């Protein structure tokens, strides 16, 4: 969605392929139900609202997100004395801590 303020016109069309000032991406239900202020005209794109093709920015952002999710989280070192004093069962990434005796 974008608008021409001087002409009191709102324009609703498909998603933009790149960022532009004064444009807003709307989900399909909001794009179809958009209303404009009294005295304004709404120009709607006829046809299907299809997502724009992916850009290299989208692919780079996706690759970085996958790398970040795959990165292991460092574990704090375990103290041997503390482990012997308070035995814990360990299975996978969960620990069973016995109740205080």
Q: What is the pTM of this model?
A: 0.43
Buried b (16+ CB within 10 A) or exposed e, 5-30: eeeeebebeeeeeeeeeeeeeeeeee
pLDDT digit string (tens) for 64-99?
Answer: 888 888 877 777 766 555 555 555 555 566 666 777
**Residue written as token pair 């046809």:** 47
pLDDT digit string (tens) for 21-41?
Answer: 888 888 888 888 888 899 999
Edge-to-edge strand list for the sheet holding 9-12: 2-4, 9-12, 41-44
């Amino acid at each position: 969605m974008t608008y021409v303020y001087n002409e009191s016109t709102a324009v609703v069309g498909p998603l933009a392929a790149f960022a532009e000032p004064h444009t807003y991406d709307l989900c399909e239900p909001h794009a179809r139900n958009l209303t404009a202020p009294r005295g304004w005209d709404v120009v709607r794109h006829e046809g299907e609202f299809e997502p724009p093709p992916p850009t290299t920015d989208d692919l780079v952002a996706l690759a970085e997100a996958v790398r970040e999710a795959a990165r292991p989280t460092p574990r704090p070192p375990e103290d041997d004395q503390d482990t012997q004093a308070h035995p814990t069962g360990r299975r996978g990434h969960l620990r069973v801590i016995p109740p205080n005796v």
